[in-house]
Amino acid sequence: MRILFACIFCFTTIGLSVTHAAEVNLYSARKEALIKPLLDAFSAATGTRVNLVTGKADALLKRLETEGPNSPADVLITVDAGRLHRAKTAGLLQPVNSAILEAAVPENYRDPEHYWIGLSVRARPIMYAKDRVDPARLTTYEQLAEPAWRGRICVRSSNNIYNQSLVASMLASIGQAKTEQWVRGLVTNFARPPTGGDRDQIRAAAAGQCDIAIANTYYLARMLNSKKDEQQRQSAEKIGIIWPDQRGRGVHVNISGAGLIKSAIHKQEAIKLLEYLVSDDAQRYYALSNYEYPVKPGVDYSPTLTAWGEFKADSINLSLLGEHNTEAVKLMDRAGWR
């Protein structure tokens, strides 16, 4: 594969050159190591240079708001639907009408008004210690609030967008009263105050600090396939996955996704990049290298994901995760989820 040079630069110190037609400027909340191989492949296939700036999602949104119509950015990539919704409501994005995007991305994984699309699917099921939990005893998220799990659950803090989106999905499905009751019961069942990331919850369950963890599947997959950390692999091998709500609404899922910036100068190149990111080759990369599920139906998974089996995913439109985010954060705070 021919790799073109991708320039990583600081827009605050270097003015945007408008003389290069075949380029696109990307703000990405995905880490460079996870996105750059795809960008290099896109450049090799099209001759379009991708200028990449990476950072935390909230920092990138703030930067876009500060830059306003003078922003050099053409495309924004984030790792959850909630922040894509924030970008839309802040007036940072513009709609994209593309038959390619609509054909590749299922309707529930894209904004109803075409402001953003999903690029990969991220499942957040229940994980359990194989030697201490009978998976048949847990079939729904709601059961995590039952007294039987008191002092047995590890999960990261409420300021994490993945947890906020899980609560937002429940608000959309079962309403405020039932969701708040569930969150209060869940908090009562915490084995420890929330701390660390998803990997920390998995390691804690493996070490016996708790029996249940809530985490995104790609963290477990990366631990299982770690080539440098034997301890990570050993911890991950002690953990199994429960796909909850298979007779109901399905497993909570989120997305990594992208939108076209309202002030995009390289609009056509930006749309071509979005279309490339939902191509079979790009979708296969997410599944094989990042251990995320393809957003495009029919693309093969990695052997690790395949071994976990198929599951029914929640089919709500993920724009609802953003619409209910503020309510979810307030509810989590009231319930004592710190």
Q: Evaluate whether 23-122+254-308 and 124-251+318-334 have a shared fold.
A: yes
How many Cβ atoms from other residues are within 10 Å of residue 185's Cβ?
18
225-265 residue pLDDT tens: 998 889 999 999 999 999 999 999 999 999 999 999 999 99
| Strand extents, DSSP E, the chain | 23-28, 49-54, 75-78, 93-94, 117-123, 126-129, 153-154, 212-214, 239-242, 253-261, 293-294
130-176 residue pLDDT tens: 999 999 999 999 999 999 999 999 999 999 999 999 999 999 999 99
- Res 3 pLDDT > 90: no
Q: What residue segments make up the domains of the chain, in order of their start?
A: 23-122+254-308, 124-251+318-334
255-312 residue pLDDT tens: 999 999 999 999 999 999 999 999 999 999 989 999 999 999 999 989 999 999 999 9
CATH of range 23-122+254-308; options 3.40.50.2300, 3.20.20.70, 3.90.226.10, 3.40.190.10: 3.40.190.10
CATH of range 124-251+318-334; options 3.30.9.10, 2.60.40.60, 3.40.50.970, 3.40.190.10: 3.40.190.10
What token pair was written down for 313? 């995913």
For residue 198, what are the contacts with CB-CB under 8 A and spacing of at least 6? 156, 162, 213, 215, 216, 219
11 secondary structure, DSSP code: T
- Listing DSSP states for 156-176 in one string gives --TTSHHHHHHHHHHHHHH-H
Q: How far apart are CA 43 and CA 24, in angstroms?
A: 10
